[in-house]
Amino acid sequence: MCYNLALPRFPRPERLLRAMSQLVGNALIGQSGGPTCVINQSLVGVIETCVGNAAVRNVYGAVHGIQGILQGKLIDVGRESRETLEAVAKTPCAALRSVRKKPTREECERVLQAFKQYDVRYFFYIGGNDSAETAHILNEVAMAENYDVRLFHVPKTIDNDLRVTDHCPGYGSAAKFVASAFMGDNQDNRSLPGIKIDVVMGRHAGWLTAASALARECEDDGPHLIYVPERVFDMERFLGDVDAMYAKHGRCLVAVSEGIHGPGGALIVQSKEVDSHGNVQLSGSGALGDFLAAEVKAKLGKDLRVRADTFGYLQRSFAGYASEVDAVEAREVGRTAARVALSGDRPHGSVTIRATRDGGYRASFEVTDLKNVAKETRDMEDALLKGDNDVAPAFLDYVRPLVGEMPHAARLSDFPVR
C-alpha cells in the first residue's frame, strides 16, 4: 500500500495564506555519521512535519548524506506511506544511508548549487557534532551567496557528547543495550568467576561506558570498575584495581571505554585508520580488550581466567531493543527541527533537549545556534564521576530516565542446608 501524503496540487486557502509569508520550496533531509537505533524516528519526525505544510513542495532524502547531494542521489521520501514511515521509524540505522564525510569548502559550494538546482529551501542534517559543523559551513556559504535556505541540525549520537543539550537521541537506546549486556555478563561472571573486560564505544566521552553502572542491583554486582576517557588511564593503577576487586569478590567485571588514553592523550591501542573528520578508527576491532586481558594475565597471573569482549556495532544497531523514551524523543527532535524551520523564526539551528528530573522526568525541546554544537564535544562532568574508576550516584539519576525500564536480575537466597 502506498498513498501520497505530499502537498495536494491546490492547497487550501488558509495554507496558501500562511505560505505567502513563508519561504516556499523543497525540503531535503540527510543522515550522517554512525547510526543509532532511533535515528529513523528523527527522520520520520522531519518528514511528517514537512509533508502537508504549504511551504514545502516536496520532501527529498539525500542517499548517504552530503555524498548523495554531491552525486545527485536524491529520493522522494514525501511519497512514502504512513505505514512505511512508521515501520522505518522503528528500524535501526540510517534508512537514508549514512556517510562519514567532512565536505571541503569547494564541495560545500557544490552542495549549494544542488540546493539551487533542486530548489531546496529547508535542509535537515541528522547527525553528531561533525554534521552540525557541516550545516554550519553550508550556512556560511549560503549567506555568502545570498541564497535563502533554512539549515537545521537534528542531533543523534550514542556517544551523548553534544554540547548544550541535556542528552542526545540515540544515547538512551545504546545505554539500555550496554546496561543489559553488563547485567547479563555480571551473572555470567558470577556463574563462572574470573576477570572479564568489556570494551564499550565512546571516542572522547565516557557516557556510554558509564551506563554499565545501571546493571548493578546487589552490592557486589559488576561492573566493579569503570574506566572512561575523562580520566587518564594508568596501567599500573588499573592492574592494582583489578587485583583488589578480584581479592574482594573472587571475580572482577570491568567496563572500559574504547577511548581511554594515557597522560599525553595517546590511545592505549591505536589503529592507523582515520576518517575525513580526523577520527581514528576505534570500533570494529577487539584489539584493546585483548591487549588489556593479556596485560592482566601477564601481570596478575597466567592461570587466571581472563576474558575480553568488545561490544562493537551492536551497541548502535541492535534490532528490537530501543529505549522507549529515546524513541519518542528522537521523533520529537525531528519534528521540532522541521517545525522551527518552517515557522521562519530562525534561519538555522540545532535542536536541544532540556530535561528536568526533580518530581519526575520531563523533557522539552528547543533550538540553539549551530556554532554552539558544531565541532566541540561534551565530556562527563566531574560531579558525575567517582574517583578514577567509577560513576557517582548523580550519574545514575541522570541516565535512568533515558533508558527506561530495565530487566531485573534475581538471585537465590542461598539458604543454608539444615
- Between residue 142 and residue 161, which ones bind a copy of itself under the rule CB under 8 A? none
Q: Which of 237, 307, 386, 400 binds a copy of itself (CB under 8 A)?
A: 307
Residues in 39-68 that interact with a copy of itself by CB under 8 A: 58, 60-61, 63
Indicate whether 371 belongs to the interface with a copy of itself (CB under 8 A).
no
Residue 2 lies near a copy of itself (rule: CB under 8 A): yes
Nearest to 214 by CA among 251, 172, 245: 172
Task: Out of 144, 192, 274, 383, point to the residue binding a copy of itself (CB under 8 A).
Answer: 192
Point out which span in 191-199, 338-346, 356-364, 376-384 binds a copy of itself (CB under 8 A). Answer: 191-199
Instruction: Answer whether 198's CB lies under 8 Å from 212's CB.
Output: yes
Q: How far apart are the first and last CA of the chain?
A: 67
Residues 373-412 that bind a copy of itself (CB under 8 A): 406-412
The pattern of x and - marking residues 321 through 360 that bind a copy of itself according to CB under 8 A reads: x---------------------------------------
Q: If binding is defined by CB under 8 A, does position 206 make contact with a copy of itself? A: no
Other CB atoms within a 10 A radius of the CB of residue 330 amount to: 34
52, 286, 347, 401: residue in contact with a copy of itself (rule CB under 8 A): 286
Q: Is 79 in the site for a copy of itself (CB under 8 A)?
A: yes
Q: How far apart are CA 65 and CA 131, in angstroms?
A: 10
List the one residue from 7, 19, 27, 37 that touches a copy of itself (CB under 8 A): 37
Q: How far is the CB of 275 from a copy of itself (least distance, A)?
A: 9
Tell me if 3 contacts a copy of itself by CB under 8 A: no
Cβ at position 312, least distance to a copy of itself in Å:
3
77 binds a copy of itself (CB under 8 A): yes
Of residues 60 and 125, the one with the C-beta less far from a copy of itself? 60
> Which of 109, 243, 290, 369 lies at the binding interface for a copy of itself (CB under 8 A)?
290
DSSP class of residue 157 equals -
Q: Which residue has the cell 519561504?
A: 23
Query: CA torsion 168→172→175→181, rounded to 10°?
Result: -150
Amino acid found at 319: A
Tell me how far apart the alpha carbons of residues 227 and 408 are, in angstroms, rounded to a whole number: 24
| One-character DSSP codes across 271-316 | -S-B-TT-PBP-SS--HHHHHHHHHHHHHH-TTS-EEEEE-TTHHH
Can residue 301 be called a binding residue for a copy of itself (CB under 8 A)?
Answer: no
Residue 258 sits in the site that holds a copy of itself (CB under 8 A): no
- The nearer residue to a copy of itself, 141 or 322, going by C-beta atoms, is 322
CB of residue 144 to a copy of itself, shortest distance in Å? 27
**Residues with active-site annotation:** 159
Amino acid at 249: H
Q: Does 269 bind a copy of itself (CB under 8 A)?
A: no
74 binds a copy of itself, rule: CB under 8 A: yes
Q: Is 54 helix (H, G, I), strand (E, B) or coil?
A: coil
6-14 contacts, C-beta under 8 A, 24 or more apart: 6/51, 6/52, 6/58, 6/59, 6/78, 6/79, 7/51, 7/52, 7/53, 7/54, 7/56, 7/57, 7/58, 7/78, 11/54
User: Which of 23, 24, 88, 267: binder of a copy of itself (CB under 8 A)?
Assistant: 88
| Bridge partners of residue 283, in order along the sequence | none
57 three-state secondary structure = strand
Q: Which cell numbers in the block locate residue 220?
A: 557486589
Footprint of a copy of itself on residues 96-125 (CB under 8 A)?
96-100, 118
How many residues bind a copy of itself, per CB under 8 A? 79
Residue range at the interface with a copy of itself (CB under 8 A); choices 8-16, 144-152, 240-248, 285-293: 285-293
Asked whether position 1 contacts a copy of itself by CB under 8 A, the answer is: no
Q: Which 171-190 positions form the footprint of a copy of itself (CB under 8 A)?
A: 180-181, 183-185, 187-188, 190
Sign of CA dihedral 51, 53, 56, 62: negative
